[in-house]
Structure 1
Amino acid sequence: MSDTTTQAGGEQQQTAEQTATTTEQQQKQGDPANADLGDAGKKAIAAERDARKAAEKTAADLKAQLDKIEQANLSDLEKAQKRADAAEKALQATQSESLRLTIASKHGLTGDAVDLLHGSDEAELEARAARIAALTKAPGGPVVPGVGKTPAAAPENTNDWLRNLAKH
């Protein structure tokens, strides 16, 4: 057991030595601003820091430009989608109007009767057109009083004429 304890103690001692060595190396390297670098070293570090700031600024500017381009592309895409949607709606409206007028013509509807015809599909338009056509057609056509009768013989005097008028 004493051998195991010695080995464990030895490992701990080696780990402590490695930590101390690492700390010493870090202290030797240290922060360049804290160390005595001389004028050339300080100038090199200042130049590197300036270059880093410039690179970060350039990266931010390029990211802003990329974002702007992406927004422009999205807006172009959105514009194209809106134009496509508008064209599709116009096509549907034209097709619907064409179907409505075709069905109205098939049922003999004209003028105001066509304006009354509306529906969402062909079957509904057909049913409404048939109903409107049935309502607008008078049975037997228009009636004109006295058409087809032969006029009676002209009265010989005005009194006879008035009497005939009063009878009818």
Structure 2
Amino acid sequence: MKNPTDFWETVLEPDEKLLWTGQPKPRLHWRNWRLYGPAPMAAAGLFLAGGFIIATQGKDNDVWLLLLPALLVLIPAWATWRQLKAFAATRYALTDKRALMFRIEGQKTRVKAIPRETITAPNLRNTMPASVTFLLPEAKKKTEIGFEFVEHTDALLPHLEARV
């Protein structure tokens, strides 16, 4: 396997030093509820739709009810699979100058670079594995920005805390 720092060599500036690299590795766990996105709400809607069909149609149209169990499983599974696929294509790095988030989505590559001067005190979130947020949200966004579901946060935190 290639050295993780090789991935970043083309992205780093000539005088930039790589301090930490990581990749999200979320686990299916109740603490990681954000992985499931809107899927639980969709499943609840399907459940209510099933109740509505039973209440209004009786047992005459119970063929529709055969679809509901499949949809109650497929919709959340599909949403979670998409989210896990996106995390598999994501890489994180912390350098002496910036925090980098790199994601390959099909033919597109998205890179977010956050200058070290804008990084705030890190906040460790209780996910599996832990997530570290270190940038306050922008006016339009409600969530903090950071490295999500990263293992070995004990190696990352000293680098973040040293610069704040």
TM-score scaled by length of structure 2: 0.24
Q: Which has the greater radius of gyration? A: 1
Would you tell me which structure has more helix in proportion to its own residues?
A: 1
Q: Normalising by structure 1, what TM-score?
A: 0.24
Considering Cα pairs closer than 8 Å and 6+ residues apart, tell me whether 1 or 2 has the greater RCO.
2
